[in-house]
Amino acid sequence: GAGVSQSPSNKVTEKGKDVELRCDPISGHTALYWYRQSLGQGLEFLIYFQGNSAPDKSGLPSDRFSAERTGGSVSTLTIQRTQQEDSAVYLCASSSTGNTEAFFGQGTRLTVV
Amino acid sequence: AQSVTQLDSQVPVFEEAPVELRCNYSSSVSVYLFWYVQYPNQGLQLLLKYLSGSTLVKGINGFEAEFNKSQTSFHLRKPSVHISDTAEYFCAVSPRNQAGTALIFGKGTTLSVSS
């Protein structure tokens, strides 16, 4: 597609349930990023995929969070046993080799009730 | 590792006034520098970037930023703001020529322009 696509745009889930958030990057982009945006916290880096290299998972806040990228394209961020503090907007971005510009999706607004 | 500090969390200004949003970074390697803007209820979009060359970078909507290596700063400026500039502004860095590292963002500055 023309831009980074994220789905769903909104997700309301009950505490303790698992959720999956999807990101379709721009075709041909080798790098893919996940960020979490909470009020007053800016953009918190979660995980970064670059080509076939091992992902940088240093930003994942707990072992309840995981992400995978299949075939170097689509990525899924999974949050297990969701907690209320997981409520945030989850943003995905992609960029071409060299990191000269990251293009962002519209985000998934996750609400844990 | 890199880090970004945006010195002002909120900047209120009147329309047609000049504005400066401050950004300082820390890095042990050379970096690329970016400013992103997020308008209300919209996604992030690139405002401008510094990769190399002239330290004064011009972006969209009349914004510009100046890279100061000695002060490790990349402040964003606009000589005359409009109501439509009301948004969240994020400064970001990434290591130059290093694959496998992510963009690191500051916590953002909310620019509120009033008439």
> Using one digit for the tens of pLDDT, what is the confidence trace for A44-76?
999 999 888 889 899 999 999 999 998 879 999
The number of folded domains in chain B is 1
Q: Evaluate whether residue A10 is within a structural domain.
A: yes
The answer, yes or no, to whether the previous bond of B12 is cis (omega within 30 of 0) is no
Decide if pLDDT at B67 tops 80: yes
Confidence class for position B2, pLDDT limits 50, 70, 90: confident
In this structure, are residues B11 and B19 in contact, taking their beta carbons and an 8 Å threshold?
yes
| Closest residue on chain B to A32 (Cα) | B102
Decide if pLDDT at B73 tops 70: yes
Task: Establish if B46 touches chain A: CB-CB under 8 angstroms.
Answer: yes
Confidence class for position B100, pLDDT limits 50, 70, 90: low
The minimum CA-CA distance between B66 and chain A, rounded to whole Å, is 17
At A24, which CATH number? 2.60.40.10
Identify the pLDDT of residue B98. 65
At B80, which CATH number? 2.60.40.10
Report the C-alpha gap between B93 and A48 in whole angstroms: 14
Q: Is the dihedral of CA B54, B59, B63, B68 positive or negative?
A: negative
Record: contact B43-A104, CB cut-off 8 A: yes
Q: Which residues of B touch A33 (CB under 8 A)?
A: 102-103
Which range of residues forms the domain containing residue B46? 3-114
The secondary structure of chain A in percent helix, strand, coil, rounded to multiples of 5, reads: 5, 50, 45
The minimum CA-CA distance between B86 and chain A, rounded to whole Å, is 16
Task: Please compute the mean of the pLDDT values over residues A100-105 and round it to a whole number.
Answer: 87
The minimum CA-CA distance between B95 and chain A, rounded to whole Å, is 9
The number of folded domains in chain A is 1
Task: Establish if B51 touches chain A: CB-CB under 8 angstroms.
Answer: yes
| Closest residue on chain B to A104 (Cα) | B44
Least confident of A74-78, A80-84, B28-32, B90-94: B28-32
The minimum CA-CA distance between B42 and chain A, rounded to whole Å, is 7
- Scanning the structure block, which residue is given the tokens 């992510």? B102
pLDDT tens per residue, range A3-12: 999 999 999 9
pLDDT tens per residue, range A13-39: 999 999 999 999 999 898 999 999 987
Which range of residues forms the domain containing residue A44? 5-98
Q: Evaluate whether residue A93 is within a structural domain.
A: yes
| Nearest by CB: B90 against A40, A43, A53 | A43
Record: contact B43-A33, CB cut-off 8 A: no
